Chains A and B, each alone.
Chain A
Amino acid sequence: MLLNDVLNEKGKEVHTIPSNASIDDVVTELVRFNIGSLLVRDSPGGPILGIITERDILRALAAHQAPLEELRVSTCMSCDLITAQAQDDITVAMRLMTTHRVRHLPVVEGEALYGIVSIGDIVKAHHDELELENHLMLNYIQGGGSSVVAS
């Protein structure tokens, strides 16, 4: 299954936040949309400056111990973005996530931002693929094998 397929099913909407917003604002947005990360950009259609995740917030709080409204996105975000291509298989996304220890991958098509996938999306996609395989296999066995092959 390709990341393009995953995004077609879950949607391509990407939530963003400006770099001068507070961590308090980030938490509000994460909870509002029930997601684990926001991409950082200062203007609609502008360049992506980084990503801020639940883990970044945890790290920032442990390190700074400052009130959340005083912490800015720009000081807590990760600027080194690990991205995948829309035509990559989900296995590629899994490798990127485990190698770089990230749970969110912005998906690009060429240079343009296309969507974002989380580790939860990828595991769900893999699981759905397995279920489909099992279903087809069962049909194949119950149908004596010929119907699936012939079609």
Chain B
Amino acid sequence: MHTTIQTLLDRKGHDVHSIRADQTVFEAIFQMDALHVGGLIVKDGARVVGIITERDYLRKVILRGRSSKETLVETIMTRDLESVTPEDSVDVAMRLMTEKRCRHLPVFKDGELDGIVSIGDLVKEIIVVRDPGIQRLHFQSVSPKYQSTVI
């Protein structure tokens, strides 16, 4: 799909929910729950230093017997960020999420954070494009041009 991340962000908005690296995991959980999101960008001052997701929490806090009120975000956040640019296609974002098994991708424009896309955002975008696509392919398969080629 050739829709760009820019188009998606124009529709969805450029807001990014973030938390400081020195806040507690409990604060992150509380914020994610209140905002109905599954991940927060982690910042140290204005700098983006990672991402914390509900999956990080489950795997790195609960499983290892840590306390969410005593563990800092920076301890469990994912530092190696997969990201996209506004010029990338939705297709590229889909491939990254599938390959890296992640559900959030920050968007960087000239090195600056410009937005975030979730797997849910991608699915919404796919739906917009998918139905007309099906109709078009169906039309092509029975178009007289193709039939005459067969004959």
Contact = CB atoms under 8 A, between A and B. Distances in A.
A82 to B, nearest CB: 14
B117 to A, nearest CB: 12
B98 A127 contact: yes
Q: Which 10 A-B pairs have the closest CB atoms?
A: A62-B33, A124-B98, A27-B62, A127-B94, A54-B54, A94-B123, A58-B54, A149-B149, A62-B30, A94-B127
B123 A97 contact: yes
B149 A146 contact: yes
B58 A119 contact: no
Specify the main secondary structure of chain A where it touches its partner.
helix
Contacts of A95: 127
Contacts of A142: none
A63 B134 CA distance: 44
B54 A55 contact: yes
A31 interface: yes
A58 B149 CA distance: 58
Contacts of B68: 61
Contacts of A91: 127, 130-131, 134
Contacts of A120: 97-98, 101, 103, 119
Q: How large is the interface on A (under 10, 10 to 19, 20 to 34, 35 or more residues)?
A: 20 to 34
Given A31-B59, A145-B149, A127 B91 contact: yes
Contacts, number: 86
Given A59-B33, A61-B68, A119-B119, A98 B58 contact: no
Contacts of A36: 55
Contacts of B146: 149
Given A27-B62, A30-B58, A98-B127, A123 B150 contact: no
B57 A127 contact: no
Contact of A149 (B36, B98, B150): B150
Contacts of B131: 91
A126 interface: yes
B32 interface: yes
A103 to B, nearest CB: 8
Interface in A50-101: 54-55, 57-59, 61-63, 68, 91, 94-95, 97-98, 101
Contacts of A61: 29, 68
A150 B58 contact: no
A27 B94 contact: no
B119 A28 contact: no
B138 interface: no
